[in-house]
Structure 1
């Protein structure tokens, strides 16, 4: 049926999804001998039932648990529980050196593979796994045989009947389970090593460390850029691990040598404590996260997303990106992120256009005119807004006399306008942007001269702090009005036919502006709100005030349209088109 591979795997995995009963989860956590949970990995998180029972006393902070889960639909729920989702497929995961504990309830058919994977990626720590008892009792594969040896040499197993048959069990099965415990321990000599070995390792070349990585410009293959980014990351992680171990070894040998003369005399102090296993694990974790942050940020930067988004939309994308950065930096995860951006590109662009529209209409009532909005149903109809195509004014952009440039916030706003109108024009950026005009012609603009960008002529009045915009291509402003109007349902969808009279009153909104404003003032005064302009109250935080303002504007539009001979109730009635046109022309 054309399911993506990952969805097929998740569907198969769902058949083996047995959420951990609370009693079994608590018993699994009790198996750990080291109760200081620096960082925990749960490779088959499901809905978080196992993580929920963690004996974690510091309630003012998130549980130090990283999760991996194949079913993408469960990720949001895991994050809501304060857990970090760092991967999708555990068997492809590689960043496990810094975990102090691994706890898991993997699919029974893959139990041995999951425990062996955890053992291989763990540097120093403990593992507890809930497995089908047959995985241990019947070691007929190489994986099961290796697991049995590890259990014998580094841990133990407890067999439990009816663990998934209790009344609290979400999905019951009478299978006998094995609760496996393993302890992987790094000895001091593993950190310290031998001096000769260290000196030999110092000769390792950068080319050897980086493995298959080559400079992108040498390859000249655009489709390898993601592969190269992941290889660069892996090389950096490998080098970081070696650096941390070398730092620990250096600390050990320095402590063997003794103090400096200054320390011996009491003139200085120094840290002479050798680096322990805990320090290595915590440092690996801290530096790994920093490298992963760099790697993911390089992908966000390379997509040129930031260059084409407005400030608010860019901030939204970056906030969502915080969840993405928790995932392991792998080729599959990078492609998944880019695919998500591509699929949401239309909505991202629409959000940016709405933001620019609101910036123009929010602070200066004379920038907008009203029209009778599309009636999507019999009970709901609101007044729509459109930006004037003749001129609009932006306030609050004053500068000091001695200034040689616009303020930073003002330049950011102008950059947003450049991005939005270039997009409306089907271009990546304007040939001459508003930012270019205000950067290169600031003195001339302050003295009253008009400047010209690709899309606007502008005048600037620094004392009152206003910028006046005159559209050079009114069709772009009209395109913005149409797109935002449809997005907010002030206008009908493109595939819905409404009367020509409806579109005529929409197009005549600027011509009717004066009469509408007179009616708004009169209605507000008659209803005891003469001092409070309803046009300024449409976005009031008090919903009742905003609704009252909307009602007054809607009544004013009704009065003006009826005065112009337009049947307000028949705007959507297509068989009255000719009559409405005749009345309006007359």
Structure 2
């Protein structure tokens, strides 16, 4: 009877070559190199490759015996490595050394488990068959590192070798020939080997339910051209269609699951099904989560977000859990939009006062003293208005890259300003922030952080976290200051209702301090004084 060590195909992988094979499987995640898991090691022999896989995974071994030391035994058990070995003697040794042996003959192995990598040194006499088997197991994606006799690749004289050569070529396999790789090995041999590295891209998932839903939607659009045109032109209508398709997909998934879950029970009829697929949500809970996702997406749409003040954006984001109880339907969306329209006037008023307070809060940042101009207010000496230039906090530089990267924070700060000025400038017409976003993107791509021109102002972004804007539209700046000053009671009640010469001396004194007779007369003549009536509601 022959022992495993006498086998003509038993050539334990040299440690240096085994290390190279295992090390090449590593990828970088969050700045750290790691081995993918789970890993399959077919034809594992006495564990030469398996031990080096553990070594690369930083599971320590006793340098004298090669066995796992006591400190790393638990770590070794946590590492997801499966071994396959035909020899019963070697299977016994692998198990004794703490390795998990899941099958005997690799060529008959049919795993349900999806492996991230296969690393192998198969019998040279059957190398082509073993590598073809590995390629079949990994057809949906993963990595393979395999040692073969070089002749298997160099001399494809059999149909099996020809098939292997074709598949390796199709998969852009990397082949490294190593002469005398086993010259100084535990079982020496003068043989040239081929180290084959194959990285198979993950297969795109295919869902029969998704294909059915896509076909049904296509048929519906063909049957109703008006619906197709609406979905194409209106992102909200398109979102409703996607939601309906997703909800129907969830219904069909649960229907399928309920139809097969009896397979997840044990052998006897009395046993209950087990939550194998972790369907820990009921159907209604899944639909509730879907609604929450789509309501959140609704308020992220520029068509909606652009016309909500910052406070309103926060309010509606906080209401997602409440809205998830309502279907994501045209009726409910229209109801919310009407509600937003009714609130936008008060919202814009609050936004104007909020911005004014932010820019004139001298205690917040000493640099803000450059923002304001003082004048004698009505019954107070503490009145002020925003000047031509404003400084405020705004992060637009990458913390780690050090590059100019105006992201969400910069867009949020600037759109808040531009939206407010737009409503003052256009008497409440609907705001669209596409131009602002395009300007920010172009500035980022060109690296222009200074004097970036927007609709009502230029902006310069500094690395210390501030933004300096200079207003380029004097009229809208005047309207902004007038609205805030009137709301705070710093201008006489007669301001905007009387001509300068019809005012009392006390009222004229305030006007003189605020802007002067000529500017006041121009303000009256061109109707630059905003009122609540001029802030129209959000249009459709």
Q: Could you state the TM-score of these two structures normalised by the residue count of structure 2?
A: 0.42
Q: Could you state the TM-score of these two structures normalised by the residue count of structure 1?
A: 0.39
